[in-house]
């Protein structure tokens, strides 16, 4: 089944430039229905109040980190099914293991390119 490229993707990062990079890379891959949030706390509010199909989130953020955000998402029955891709500059093995234990769907280490983003998206949402 073809992947719905109109699915709503939430991009979370405290660096506005990084949000723009991810949003534009997603756009180049054909995903144009994208929204954004500057930290986990605001992102959690959005996920609880809007229909979000996929989350792409940074790890290190003020107010609520990506890991805390992921844990909150996975605790909430109404939203725990949403695929969650973690993007981080920390490629440490223990971080990856912690994220997997918390229920992350996939993990991207910065800096990354469009090909890596596509590869991880395919693993999470299916081929496109």
Partner 1 sequence: MSEDNKMDLGAQLDALDQSEEKFVPIEEVRQLTNAVRAFFQGEFSGPDLELYGELGELARFINRMKSELREFQPNMIADEKIPEASDQLDAIVQQTEKATSRIMDALERVDNVHRDVLERLMCNEPPLDPDVMAGVEDSFTEAGTALTDVYEACNFQDLTGQRIMKIIKALREIERQVLRMVIVFGLKNEESELNESDKMRLEENVDLLEGPQTGNKGMDQDEIDDILSKLL
Residues near partner 1 (CB under 8 A) are: 13, 15-18, 20-21, 24-25, 27-28, 60, 89, 110-114
Name which of 28 and 33 has its Cβ closer to partner 1: 28
Residue closer to partner 1, measured from CB, 27 or 81: 27
Q: Are strands 9-12 and 84-88 parallel, antiparallel or unpaired?
A: unpaired
**Residue 2 Cβ, how far from partner 1 at the closest point, in Å?**
20
85 forms bridges with which residues in the sheet?
56, 106
Q: Point out which residues pair with 29 in neighbouring strands.
A: none
C-beta closer to partner 1: residue 32 or 126: 32
Least gap, CB of 113 to partner 1 (angstroms): 5
Q: Shortest approach of partner 1 to residue 61 CB, angstroms?
A: 11
Distance CA 22, CA 20 (A): 6
Question: Cα separations (Å) of 39 from 45, 52, 65, 69, 124?
Answer: 10, 16, 7, 9, 22
- Closest separation in Å from C-beta 71 to partner 1: 22
CB count, 10 Å around CB of 12? 31
Kindly tell me which of 20 and 80 has the beta carbon lying closer to partner 1. 20
Locate 12 and state its tokens.
């979370």
């Amino acid at each position: 089944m073809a992947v719905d490229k109109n699915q709503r993707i939430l991009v979370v990062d405290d660096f506005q430039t990084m949000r723009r990079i991810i949003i534009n890379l997603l756009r180049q891959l054909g995903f144009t229905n994208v929204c954004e949030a500057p930290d986990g706390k605001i992102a959690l509010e959005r996920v609880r109040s809007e229909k979000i199909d996929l989350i792409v989130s940074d790890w290190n953020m003020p107010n609520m980190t990506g890991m805390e955000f992921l844990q909150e998402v996975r605790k909430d029955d109404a939203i725990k099914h949403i695929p969650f891709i973690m993007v981080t500059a920390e490629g440490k093995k223990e971080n990856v293991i912690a994220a997997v234990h918390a229920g992350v769907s996939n993990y991207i280490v910065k800096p990354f390119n469009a090909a890596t983003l596509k590869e991880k998206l395919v693993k999470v949402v299916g081929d496109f």
